[in-house]
Amino acid sequence: MKYLKKLLIVLIITIIATGIVIAIFFGKRDIPLDDLKAKYAGAPSQFILIQGMDVHFRDEGNPNDSLPLVLLHGTSSSLHTYDEWTKALTPSRRVIRMDLPAFGLTGPHPTRDYSMERYADFVHDFLNALEVEKCILGGNSLGGNITWNFALKYPERAKKLILIDASGYPIKAESVPIAFTLANTPVANKLLTFITPRFMAEASVLNVYSDKAKVTDELVDRYFELTLRRGNRQGLVDRMTMAVDSEAHLRIPTIEQPTLLLWGGEDYLVPIASAYKFQEELPNDTLVILPNLGHVPMEEDPVTSLEPVLAFIK
């Protein structure tokens, strides 16, 4: 009995010591917002108050464009994911993008509600604030999910849709970034809010790229540092554990807007089976598969991925 008691004490001490070591080496404090703004909110970044949040956005290009392109990023990303597309588009088009609630410089929503309905309402309020009556709405992954949900709730506002590796169908991922897995795992997701090593961000970005050589230190730093914006780590956990409307996808066949389906052929997070499901159920769609690209084609190969977009929005 005494031996077992000593063994238990040693085990507890070992666990505590391991926890302390992990916290010392991998625990990360939030990066002050002003520091992040100095690095990631240079011109033409702006901020606007929406639903109690100081929302980071960029509104660029032709101010006379009556049908601007509004682009939504994916989970744990930011408006910067569309940097190269925007450079190519703005000589002739107006391009608007923002950091969605829980991510980027916008930070967490005060209600901690990250349902698709709440996100659709957020985009609606954002467009109202910018006095954008109608637009072409596009989104990647989570942003694509928000896009088609927005089209269902506010069909008169989005004239065309661009779904880039969009989530929404109950199709199991073939490979999931480690940060997403931890954020959705009880106990582990509590630790994730303060123990967030950089290698986890790097592994997660590598997971969604087909060509790993394109994952640069600068790219990983951006994802990693914006995750350390105050409230974003908890926001990720809240988003990943949010209850899902399991029947929302049943309404996809009622979407009437012309829709471009843009998919990385090597996407294992939202597999190509989802692309074919959208194609099967949407009445007015165009499907373009991009071989040898992963889950974020607009970031991995902006030139190739933009070509079908230019044809679609002409």
**% of residues, the chain, pLDDT over 90:** 87
Q: Are 55 and 104 in contact (CB under 8 A)?
A: no
d(CA 102, CA 79): 13
What local confidence, expressed as pLDDT, does residue 194 receive? 80
Cα 219 from Cα 73, distance rounded (Å): 15
Question: Tens digit of pLDDT for each residue in 48-96?
Answer: 999 999 999 999 999 999 999 999 999 999 999 999 999 999 999 999 9
Confidence at residue 155, expressed as pLDDT on a 0 to 100 scale: 97
Res 17 pLDDT > 50: no
Q: Is the pLDDT of residue 98 over 50?
A: yes
Task: Please list, in sequence order, all residues whose beta carbon lies within 8 angstroms of the beta carbon of residue 51, skipping any fewer than 6 positions away.
Answer: 101, 109, 110, 121, 122, 125
> Residue 187: what pLDDT?
86
Nearest to 135 by CA among 80, 81, 75, 61: 61
Q: What is the pLDDT of residues 236-281, one digit of tens each?
A: 999 999 998 989 999 999 999 999 999 999 999 999 999 999 999 9
Q: What is the pLDDT of residues 198-241, one digit of tens each?
A: 999 999 999 999 999 999 999 999 999 999 999 999 999 999 99
> What does the pLDDT look like over 145-164, one tens digit per residue?
999 999 999 999 999 999 99
Q: At what angle do helices 217-227 and 33-40 cross, to 10 degrees?
A: 150
The DSSP code sequence of 241-285 is: TS---TTGGGGGGG--S-EEEEEETT-SSS-HHHHHHHHHH-SSE
Dump pLDDT digits (tens) for 115-150.
Answer: 999 999 999 999 999 999 999 999 999 999 999 999
